């Protein structure tokens, strides 16, 4: 009788993990060619809130998320640079585009146990539209 119970326990120990396995949850791919997290449409900014480098090859903006600021790096800064420069610096700007996780942020967040990772986020944004706001000047 004790032999059969031990044999049944061994079988259960082997089969239980197999039966209870629900599969892996797919994590969103990061970067500008990854999985779109969500899109923003006509997000309003001051012209000075969007920061370009001198050559127009890097651009970003920040949005407050409470105590910290989330950072959004352009996937296509060069494509939007001429449009950005054509808008008066006194105007407000509307930005639309698709958001992705930034790969550097995802890598750093997965290796760090820092509580700050839960407060600020870093995204990539593939900007589809930058235009002067209908509201005009700030």
Q: Are 30 and 19 in contact (CB under 8 A)?
A: no
Instruction: Check residue 107 and give its pLDDT.
Output: 82
Best CA proximity match to 47, nearest among 115, 105, 132, 128: 132
Instruction: Check residue 86 and give its pLDDT.
Output: 92
Full pLDDT tens readout for the chain, 138 residues: 677 777 777 766 776 666 666 666 666 689 999 899 999 999 998 888 999 999 999 999 998 877 888 999 999 999 999 999 999 888 899 999 999 999 988 888 777 665 555 678 899 999 999 999 866 555
Please state the three-class secondary structure of 67-96 as a single string: CCEEEEEECCHHHHHHHHHHCCCCEEEEEE
The burial class, CB within 10 Å (0-12 / 13-18 / 19+), for 52 is: middle
Instruction: Check residue 13 and give its pLDDT.
Output: 74
The predicted model scores a pTM of: 0.74
Alpha carbons 101 and 33: distance in angstroms, whole number? 10
Instruction: Check residue 116 and give its pLDDT.
Output: 53
Instruction: Check residue 134 and give its pLDDT.
Output: 65
Alpha carbons 21 and 76: distance in angstroms, whole number? 41
Number of Cβ atoms within 10 Å of the Cβ of 40:
17
Helix (H, G, I), strand (E, B) or coil at 110: helix
Class of domain 28-137: mainly beta
Six token digits for residue 96: 């639309």
């Amino acid at each position: 009788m004790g032999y059969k119970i031990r044999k049944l326990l061994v079988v259960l120990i082997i089969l239980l993990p197999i039966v209870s396995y629900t599969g892996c949850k797919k994590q969103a791919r990061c970067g500008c060619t990854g999985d779109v997290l969500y899109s923003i449409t006509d997000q309003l900014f001051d012209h000075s809130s969007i920061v370009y480098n001198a050559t127009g090859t890097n651009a970003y903006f920040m949005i407050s998320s409470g105590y910290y600021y989330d950072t959004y790096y352009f996937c296509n800064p060069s494509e939007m640079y001429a449009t950005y420069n054509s808008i008066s610096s006194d105007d407000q700007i509307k930005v639309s585009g698709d958001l992705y996780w930034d790969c550097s942020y995802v890598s750093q967040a997965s290796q760090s146990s820092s509580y700050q990772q839960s407060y600020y986020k870093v995204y990539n944004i593939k900007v589809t539209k930058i235009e002067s706001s209908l509201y005009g000047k700030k």
